[in-house]
Amino acid sequence: MKSDTRQQILAASSKLFLEGGIHALSVRAIAKQAGLSTIGIYSHFNGKQGILDALYIEGFNNVTQVMKSVKEDSPKASVLEMCRQILDFSEHSAAHYKLIFGANMTEYTPSEDALQAAADGFITLTKVTSSLVEHHASLIEKQEIAMEIWALTHGYIGLNNHEISHHIDWGNWKERALKALATHIDALAAR
Amino acid sequence: MKSDTRQQILAASSKLFLEGGIHALSVRAIAKQAGLSTIGIYSHFNGKQGILDALYIEGFNNVTQVMKSVKEDSPKASVLEMCRQILDFSEHSAAHYKLIFGANMTEYTPSEDALQAAADGFITLTKVTSSLVEHHASLIEKQEIAMEIWALTHGYIGLNNHEISHHIDWGNWKERALKALATHIDALAAR
DNA sequence: TTGACAAATATAACAGTGTTATAGATTATA
DNA sequence: TATAATCTATAACACTGTTATATTTGTCAA
């Protein structure tokens, strides 16, 4: 098996994906872009599923890396900066964002390996948000905080991506999201 | 044009949709379920688009109706009850929920009529959440509150629908969402 | 009532989708 | 070098939404 073929297919897939999103990823388009026939997509990947898994893993690895690189002076500042990075990611890597956070709206179901990448992402998020609570807080408490930050962050992204955001005063939505997050983080401290 | 045909097609579409979600809605499946050929889907509706629009409008009308029916003793109780209803809706009418809030993840783009139903839904949400602020607050301020409540509510639903929710302690997610919403509502009052 | 025309509907055909089957080419091994 | 194994191209399959063509049904005027 030529590992070069696998790489060619992956590169072609990435190019199409970044240019046209998930819907540009037909097996014929990938094969044409790679200068090959479609059969390699089945032998080197698990068909279309394997292509999407590879991109899903890439997407989560990217956002997880971004979360890990956050270094601010205070817990609150760190969490807010991480959320800002996620908000930015949802725009700069919209195709990846839609794939990794919108899969449940489509017929794609991530593989176990892909889900592991998602779980690692949530673990990273939990580590960063954990700084908002005391060190002896239980794992469940820490995950609860992470869920709240996750929900508010991705909720704002969901609203940004929904058509009704064009019908309301949506001017500087990221600053609004961060303000809401700051409000919520302060409230967590007082809870 | 027989309006009976239109109703047959709509009834068949609804049945398939409620049983199998959006992916059960091929034009051939709809036609077979209705005991007709596919052509009526194009003449009575605008093809597949028109079917999805009709279901989208129905979905938003349903959730908007639910929001309007909330009557509690206090602004906070009313908003929380409304959010509880939305959380329930996301489970009991999962197909509708995914269609109306997940459209941007798929290739379906709602028509202008469908978007009007979505906008009406947001207006209703804003009316209910407006009770959390003073009467003389500006429309922009009221929409900002509505956005925050929208984001936190749908953010939790998004987490519930994401595969990672199976990898964390997600026990009673609705109570957790409502607790986070209560925390946020209290913080809004103090802001 | 009949015939012409319009509207509605059935069926066929088209171009696209992911996947599998078959054929052919290339590589590895004895 | 010959054979077997592996890889890849191509064809075929069943499905998708849509349009084209054919047929049936309904309407209206003479």
Three-class SS state of A62: helix
Q: Say if residue B63 is in the same domain as residue B151.
A: yes
Q: Say if residue B37 is in the same domain as residue B78.
A: no
Instruction: Find the residue closest to C28 using CA and C1' atoms.
Output: A1
For residue B69, give every residue at least 6 positions away whose Cβ sits within 8 Å of its Cβ, in sequence order, or none: B85
Q: Say if residue B141 is in the same domain as residue B75.
A: yes
B180 contacts in A (CB within 8 Å)?
A: 147-148, 151, 184
Tell me if A151 and B159 make a contact (CB, 8 A cut-off). yes
Alpha-carbon distance A129 to B70, whole Å? 34
Q: Say if residue A171 is in the same domain as residue A92.
A: yes
pLDDT digits (tens, 9 = 90+) for A72-93: 999 999 999 999 999 999 999 9
Q: Say if residue A91 is in the same domain as residue A22.
A: no
Q: If DSSP states are collapsed to H, E and C, what string results for B24-68? A: HCCHHHHHHHHCCCCHHHHHHCCHHHHHHHHHHHHHHHHHHHHHH
- pLDDT higher than 90, residue B78: yes
CA B169 to each of CA A30, A142, B152: distance values in angstroms, whole numbers, following the listed order? 39, 11, 19
For residue A74, give every residue at least 6 positions away whose Cβ sits within 8 Å of its Cβ, in sequence order, or none: none
- pLDDT higher than 80, residue B24: yes
Q: Say if residue B156 is in the same domain as residue B184.
A: yes
Q: Give the range of the structural domain holding residue A116, as residue numbers without chain letter.
A: 49-190
Average pLDDT over residues B47-59: 97
What is the count of structural domains for chain A? 2
Distance B39 CA to C13 C1' (A): 14
Q: Say if residue A80 is in the same domain as residue A173.
A: yes
Residues with CB under 7 A from strand D: A 1-2, 5, 31, 36-40, 43-44; B 25-29, 38-39, 41-42, 47-49
pLDDT digits (tens, 9 = 90+) for A93-140: 999 999 999 988 899 999 999 999 999 999 999 999 999 988 888 888
B106 contacts in A (CB within 8 Å)?
A: 105-106
DSSP H helices, A69-135, are 75-92, 94-102, 112-130
What is the predicted ipTM?
A: 0.93
Q: Tokens for A62? A: 């990217």
Which CATH number covers residue A167? 1.10.357.10
Alpha-carbon distance A98 to A100, whole Å? 6
Tell me if A163 and B118 make a contact (CB, 8 A cut-off). yes
Cβ burial of B80 (10 Å; 0-12, 13-18, 19+) is buried
Alpha-carbon distance A146 to B67, whole Å? 28
pLDDT digits (tens, 9 = 90+) for A144-187: 999 999 999 999 999 999 999 988 888 899 999 999 999 999 99
Residue numbers of B between 46 and 85 with CB closer than 8 Å to A: none
Which CATH number covers residue A38? 1.10.10.60
Q: Say if residue B34 is in the same domain as residue B62.
A: no
Q: Say if residue A10 is in the same domain as residue A30.
A: yes
Provide the pLDDT confidence category of residue A190 given band limits of 50, 70 and 90: confident
For residue B1, the model assigns a pLDDT of 57
Q: Say if residue B82 is in the same domain as residue B133.
A: yes
Chain B touched by A182 (CB under 8 Å): no
Q: Which of B45, B62, B81 is the last residue before a domain boundary?
A: B45
Q: Which of A155, A184, A178 is nearest to B188 (CA)?
A: A184
Residue pair A85/A66 in contact by the 8 Å Cβ criterion: yes
For residue B2, the model assigns a pLDDT of 63
Q: Say if residue B120 is in the same domain as residue B68.
A: yes
Q: Say if residue B25 is in the same domain as residue B63.
A: no
Residue pair B16/B29 in contact by the 8 Å Cβ criterion: yes
Tell me if A101 and B169 make a contact (CB, 8 A cut-off). no
